[in-house]
Each structure stands twice: as structure tokens, then as C-alpha cells.
Amino acid sequence: MSLLLIVDDKEENRYLLESLLTDQGYEVVSAIHGADALEKARENPPDMIIADILMPVMDGFALCRRWKNDDLLKSIPFIFYTATYTDERDRAFALNLGADRFLVKPMDPEDFLKVVQETLEKVPAPSAAQAEPKTKNAEEESEYLKQYNEVLIRKLEAKMEQLEQANKKLERDIDTHKKKSDKNARLKDETEKMVEERTAELKKNNCTARRT
């Protein structure tokens, strides 16, 4: 039985994945962020990790980098499963970090399970080259930080754009509501004026009728 580690800060997401995978006979352990995942994986290494990206404490990108630089964990398949980082440049960055697959939510359960099984089956046997620790020089570290910052900036810019669009919609809704309110107020004034004029007319006619 394969042991899978799920990493997601949202409880409902973890529950859905746990239910799907345990129904297929997998043993599942969950973590709420990257740091939690590393701690649990080092205590009991899983056969695969499936991680979200946008998480507190340690996000998925930072987790993947730490994972692939850890002698104990680096040969374990790493799958990203995200709904927030969907740009092709995000995918390229994730794969460059060493991720085995990059999946975008939502995904058909059967297709998702197929990817999980295929990835597990393709795990290579550790080789002498893989066993040797890979030394990161300053240039590689600088390149990683550059790409990581670019990813975060793109996400921030996208969020800012979403907020700007939401604010514009809110302003339009407020303007529309104000116009409707002004129109209703005018109709109310006109109706009250018509009622007053009609009431005065009826009173006048009533007085005339009494005199005759």
C-alpha cells in the first residue's frame, strides 16, 4: 500500500483528496503547510507528495525546493495540485524546481487518479548519481530567488488587477443603485404632488357641490 502525503492549508481540500485517495486503497497523511509537510515526511517518508502552492508559513514552491535538496526525500515524486498558480510560467518554474507533475484544479477524479498511479509507477530506482548530494552555488541560488520573486510578483499583480476590477464593478453597482434611488425619489415626489393636487381638486369640487 502506497503512502501519500497531502499538503493543503484548506481543510475542505484535504478532505476531498483524502476521501478520493483512501477509496482507491492509498494510505494518506495530511499536512497544513510546507513546514508541517517536511517534518512529517522526515519522520515517515511517503511514497509521493501532492502539494498545493499558496499556503502560509512555507508555500509549495519553497517546499519543493527544500524537498528536492533533501537527501532523504529528493527521490520521492512531487506533484503540484493548484488552483491559484495556473500561468505557464508558474508551471515551468515548478518543473524546474524538480516537481514531477503540475496539475491545475479542478481536475476530473479519474484523470487525477490516473496521473497519481502513473507517477508512482515511473519512480526510478536510486542511482549513484542521484545519491550524491547536489551542491548549490551562489549563481544557482540567485537564479532561484530571481524566478521565485518573479512568480510572486506576477501573482501579486494578478491579485491587484482582480481587486481593481472588483472595485470598478462596485463603483458601477453603487452608481446604478444611486440612479435608481434618485429615480424612485423623483417618482415618489411626483406621485405625492399628484395626490395633493387631486385631493385639492376633489375638495374644491366637493365645496362647489355643497353650495349648489
Name the phi and psi angles at 67, rounded to 5.
-60, -45
Instruction: Please say whether the beta carbons of 2 and 48 come within 8 A.
Output: yes
Q: Where are the domains of the chain?
A: 3-134, 140-212
pLDDT at 200: 80
Does 195 have pLDDT greater than 50? yes
pLDDT in tens, 40-72: 999 999 999 999 999 999 999 999 999 999 999
Per the structure block, which three cell numbers stand in for 62? Answer: 519553497
Tell me how far CA of residue 176 lies from CA of 50, 112, 168, in angstroms. Answer: 46, 44, 12
Question: What is the mean pLDDT of the segment spanning 78-83?
Answer: 96
pLDDT at 171: 77
Question: Given the C-alpha cell 532523504, which residue does it identify?
Answer: 72
Residue of 53, 48, 70 whose CA lies nearest to 136? 70
Instruction: Please say whether the beta carbons of 80 and 102 come within 8 A.
Output: yes
pLDDT at 162: 66
Does 37 have pLDDT greater than 70? yes
Tell me the CATH architecture of domain 3-134: 3-Layer(aba) Sandwich (3.40)
Per the structure block, which three cell numbers stand in for 154? Answer: 506576477
pLDDT in tens, 87-136: 899 999 999 999 999 999 999 999 999 999 999 998 765 544 444 445 55
